[in-house]
Amino acid sequence: MLLQGNLAANKKTFPHGIKALADYVHSKGLKLGIYSDAGYKTCAKAQPGSLGHEEQDAKTFASWGIDYLKYDNCNNGDTKPLQRYPDMSKALMQAGRPIFFNLCEWGDMHPARWGAAYGNSWRTTNDIEDTWDSMTSMADQNEVWAEYARPGGWNDPDMLEVGNGGMTNDEYIVHFSIWAISKAPLIIGCDVRHMSQDTYDILANKEVIAVNQDPLGVQGKKVRMEGSSEIWAAPLTGYRTAVLLLNRHAKDEAQITAHWDDIGLPAGTAVDARDLWLHKTLDTKFTDKMSFNVTPHAARMFVLTPLKSQMD
C-alpha cells in the first residue's frame, strides 16, 4: 500500500511495520527479502510496483533493513527489461545498504547475457512448480547458461520447492543437489515454521550448501547423459570436484559411472570420495572412474579430493 507516496506496510498483516519484522528476522540469524515489480503494479493482487519510483522505493527498502529484492516483470507498459531494471540497480547502489538484487524477468530476454551489469542473480526460467517434471525442466533450462555464472552474479532457476509436499523425499534431495551444484540461489520456498525433520535435514545439509557456496563459483554442468542417467560436475577450490549422479528414470534403478575425463580430473588421479548425503568418506579410493547404482528419481552426490600423495 502507499502512504503519502511511499510504500507502507499493511497494518493488519504487519502491525509493527517492516522494520520491526526485519529486526526480528535478523535476530534469528536470517535475512529478509521483499518483493516488488519493474512495472506499475505487481503480478498478483495488483499492489503498487516500483516503475518510476525506483529511487524512492530503494531508500524505503534500505530504511526497513531489507537484504534481498525480488524484482518482477508484470504490468510494465510493454517496455523492455533493459529500459527498466538498470534504474532500480542504480537506486539500490545509492540507497546506503547492501541489498541483493534478483532480476525476475523470467529469462524472456536472456538475462544471463546482460544481468551481471545490473544485478546479483537473474531468473533464467519461468515459475517453478512443486512437481518432478517442472523441477527438472527448470534445471535443464538453467544449465544452458552455466558459462555466464560467476561470483557476484548467478543464474536463478527459481526458488526451492523442498518441503511443499508435491515430490518425494528422494526427489527433493535431487532438487536441492542440482540447485547446489548449479550455484543457484538457495531460496527456501516452504513454511519454515512447520517444516518436517526430513525437510530440515535437506535444507540444512551443510556439506551440500558448502558446494553451492564454494568460493570458486563455477556453475556445475551436465558432462555426460545416457538415456535417463546423467552426470553433473563442477570444480571446487582445493583441486576438488563435486559430482552428481542422477537417475531421471521413474521406475528403473540405474548403474551410473562418472569417468574422470568427463568430470575434469586427470587420468590416473586417485581420490577420496565424500558422500554428501550419507555424510561419510567412502573406504574405496577411486581412480579414473566411479560407479554406483542409483534408485529411480534419485541422486548420489560426492566431493572428490585427490590424495595428498598426488598433490606433492
Tell me whether residue 115 is in a domain.
Answer: yes
Which one of 72, 130, 158, 272 is the catalytic residue? 72
Last residue of a domain, one of 213, 246, 268: 213
Say whether 127 is catalytic.
Answer: yes
- Read off the pTM: 0.95
Residue 3 resides in a domain? no
Q: Reply yes or no on whether 72 is catalytic.
A: yes
DSSP bridge partners of 100: 68
Tell whether 62 and 195 lie within a shared domain: yes
Question: 123 has which bridge partners?
Answer: 156
Report the CATH number at residue 291: 2.60.40.1180
Residue 294 lies in a domain: yes
Residue 80 lies in a domain: yes
Residue where the block lists cell 517496455: 79
Alpha-helix runs per DSSP H in the chain: 17-27, 54-64, 85-93, 132-143, 169-181, 197-203, 206-212, 260-263, 308-311
The pLDDT, as a whole number, for residue 3 is: 64
What CATH number is associated with residue 102? Answer: 3.20.20.70
Q: Are residues 282 and 183 in the same domain?
A: no
Residues of the domain holding 22: 18-213
Q: Kindly state whether residue 277 falls inside one of the protein's structural domains.
A: yes
Rounded to 5°, angle at Cα 102 from 98 and 106: 170
Residues 177, 243, single domain; the answer is no
Q: What is the pLDDT of residue 310?
A: 63
Output the pLDDT for position 155.
Answer: 98
Is residue 181 within 8 Å of residue 232, measured between CB atoms?
yes
Give the pLDDT of residue 46.
Answer: 83
User: Is 95:58 a contact under the CB 8 Å cutoff?
Assistant: yes
Q: Tens-of-pLDDT digits for all 312 residues of the chain?
A: 656 779 999 999 999 999 999 999 999 999 999 999 999 999 988 899 999 999 999 999 999 999 999 999 999 999 999 999 999 999 999 999 999 999 999 999 999 999 999 999 999 999 999 999 999 999 999 999 999 999 999 999 999 999 999 999 999 999 999 999 999 999 999 999 999 999 999 999 999 999 999 999 999 999 999 999 999 999 999 999 999 999 999 999 999 999 999 999 999 999 999 999 999 999 999 999 999 999 999 999 999 999 976 665
CB burial readout 156-169, b (16+ within 10 A) else e: bbbbbbbbbeebee
* Catalytic residue of the set 57, 78, 108, 127: 127
Residues 6+ apart with CB under 8 A from 22: 32, 64, 65, 66, 67
- Cα gap 2→283, rounded to integer Å: 62
Helices 169-181 and 132-143: crossing angle in degrees, nearest 10, is 10
Q: What is the DSSP string of 37-89?
A: ESSSB-SSTT-B--TT-HHHHHHHHHHHT--EEEEE--S-TT--GGGTHHHHH
